[in-house]
Amino acid sequence: MDILKNKFVIGGIGAVLLLTLVYYVWTSAENGALLTTNDGTSPLSQEILLTLGQLHTIRLDPAIFTDPVFASLTDFGVTIPPQQAGRRNPFAPVGK
């Protein structure tokens, strides 16, 4: 019976500690200690928003693609030959 009594005492102390912790967190949240707000009024964020707003107004003229200068451009790209990609078992020791 002493073992059962000890379990109830330890469980009661644990419950009181848990309730105390919950109460502490609850009251700190009401005071705003855990809550932070960002209203986005920093100069950098305002500048970024202004630039994004200006980017939405940009319109490209599709007539550039029919221009003879654009048509005379040459592609100097290099084609990469196909190669084997990795090993059959990447987790096997090297050499096997």
pLDDT in tens, 42-78: 888 889 989 998 888 888 888 888 989 999 999 999 9
92 has a pLDDT exceeding 70: yes
- CA 87 – CA 96 distance, rounded (Å): 10
d(CA 27, CA 31) in angstroms, rounded, equals: 7
pTM for the model: 0.32
| CA distance from start to end of the chain | 65
Q: What is the pLDDT of residues 11-51, one digit of tens each?
A: 999 999 999 999 998 887 665 544 555 665 788 888 998 99
Q: How far is CA 63 from CA 57, 60, 67, 71, 74, in A?
A: 18, 9, 7, 12, 19
Q: How far apart are CA 77 and CA 70, in angstroms?
A: 17
Coil, strand or helix: which one is 36?
Answer: coil
